[in-house]
Amino acid sequence: STILLDRVPQLVEDLLFAKRAGHGLSLTDVVAMAAALEQLIFDETLELLEVAYAFNMRQLSELVNGQVLLDILDSYMLLFEQGSVANLTDPLKHHLIKKRRLGQDT
């Protein structure tokens, strides 16, 4: 997603630059890059999931039924698809977009 690309750390950029400059990458470089990307993906996923719970007025520790889970996942997917333009602070706007997207009341 675009959010992920906006947050690529300097380490990954430097490693990719070394590769393009013809210096190649060692196994250690590749492992470091993979670990950095894995952490970025995890962090982004966690942030969007936390916002999706909040936008559906649910606590992260709360047990939810199947319908509530689907509502949370719909919110998560909408935020994910929006990428870096996703508004992570306005639940009302989110629900209006979600309602239009799903063609139903939320």
User: What are the pLDDT digits (tens) for 51-101?
Assistant: 999 999 999 999 999 999 999 999 999 999 998 889 999 999 999 999 998
According to the model, what pLDDT value does residue 106 have?
A: 45
Is the pLDDT higher at 6 or at 49? 49
Phi-psi region of 26 (alpha: psi -120 to 50; beta: other; left: phi over 0): beta
According to the model, what pLDDT value does residue 13 have?
A: 73
Rounded-to-integer distance, Cα 82 and Cα 59, Å? 23
